[in-house]
Amino acid sequence: MIENQSDNIDNKENDVSNQDNSPEDISSTQNSTTENDQLSSQTTEEINTEELKNTISNNDARLEQLEKEHETLKNQYVRISADFDNFRKRQSRDQDDLKIQLVSKTLTAILPIVDNFERARQQLKPESEEALALHRSYQGLYKQLVEVLKQQGVSPMRVVGLQFDPNLHEAVLREPSEEFKEDFIIEELQRGYHLEGKVLRHALVKVSMGPGKKNSQQEVEKDTVEGDTDTELNTSEDV
C-alpha cells in the first residue's frame, strides 16, 4: 500500500516535470517545422519559377520555329500556285495554237478551190438563160463556201494601193508605175487571207518600181554627167 502511494507520487512528479518541459520543446519544434516549411516552399517556388521560365523559353523557340515553317510553306504554296497558273495558261495557249494549226491546215487546202471559183466568176459571162441559171447555182455554192470560211474566222486581205509588207505579201513581179509610188502594190495576183488575226496565206502581188520615165531620165542624166566628168579628166591628163 505504502509502495503504491510512493509510485504514484513519482509518476506525478514525472508528469509535472514533463509538463514543465513541454511548451518549450513544442515551440522549438514548431519553429523548426515552420522554417523547414518556408525553406521547402521557397525551394519549390524557385523550382517552379525556373521550370516556368524554361517552359516559356521552349514555347517561344517552338513558336519561332513554327512561324518559320509556316512562312516556308506559304512561300512554297505561292510558288506552286504560280507555277500551276502558268502551266494552265501555257496549256491553254498550246491548245489554242494546236487548234489554229489544224484549222489552218484544213483551210489552206480549201483556199485553192476558192481561187478557182473566183477565176471562173471572172471568166464566165453567161449569155443564154440556161448558162445564167448555171452561173447562179455556181454563185450560190461560192457564197456558201465564203460564209463557211467567215464562220471559221477567215477574212480576205485588201492589198492594192498599200505599201508592200513582207510579213503579209509576197512580191512576184515588179514594174514601173506612174500611178503608184515605189514599193506600193499595183495588183493582186493571188488573194491572201487572215485567220484570227494571223496570216493564213500570203498575198501574191505585183509591186511598183516607181515612175519609169523619171527613172530613165535620171539614168540618162547620170550617164551624161559621168561622161562629161570623164572627158574633163582626160583633158586635164593630156595637159
Average pLDDT of the chain is 76
Write out the DSSP string of 41-81. Answer: HHHHHHHHHHHHHHHHHHHHHHHHHHHHHHHHHHHHHHHHH
Of residues 210 and 238, the one with the higher pLDDT is 210
In the chain, where are the structural domains located?
153-224
- Considering 26-40, 172-186, 223-237, the range whose residues carry the highest mean pLDDT is 172-186
Q: Under a CB-based contact definition with an 8 Å cutoff, are residues 170 and 189 in contact?
A: no
- For domain 153-224, give its CATH number from 3.40.640.10, 1.10.3720.10, 3.40.50.1980, 2.30.22.10: 2.30.22.10
Cα–Cα distance, 235 to 229 (Å, whole number): 10
3-state secondary structure of 195: strand
Sign of CA dihedral 208, 209, 210, 216: negative
The answer, yes or no, to whether residue 137 has pLDDT greater than 70, is yes
Cα–Cα distance, 86 to 79 (Å, whole number): 10
- Section 136-145 average pLDDT: 86
Euclidean distance between the first and final Cα of the chain, in Å?
A: 190
The answer, yes or no, to whether residue 4 has pLDDT greater than 50, is no
Q: Degrees (nearest 5) of the Cα angle 35, 39, 43?
A: 170
Cα–Cα distance, 122 to 133 (Å, whole number): 16
Per-residue pLDDT band for 234 (boundaries 50, 70, 90) equals very low
The answer, yes or no, to whether residue 215 has pLDDT greater than 90, is no
Cell of 114: 476558192
**180 exposed, middle or buried (CB, 10 Å; 0-12, 13-18, 19+)?**
buried
Instruction: Tell which residue, 83, 96, 211, 221, has the closest CA to residue 153.
Output: 96
Per-residue pLDDT band for 119 (boundaries 50, 70, 90) equals confident
**Which residue type does 167 have?**
N
pLDDT at 37: 62
- Section 119-147 average pLDDT: 81
- Section 204-216 average pLDDT: 76
The answer, yes or no, to whether residue 65 has pLDDT greater than 50, is yes
Q: Write out pLDDT tens, residues 149-184.
A: 899 889 999 999 999 999 999 999 999 988 899 999
pLDDT at 202: 94
Instruction: Tell me the pTM.
Output: 0.53
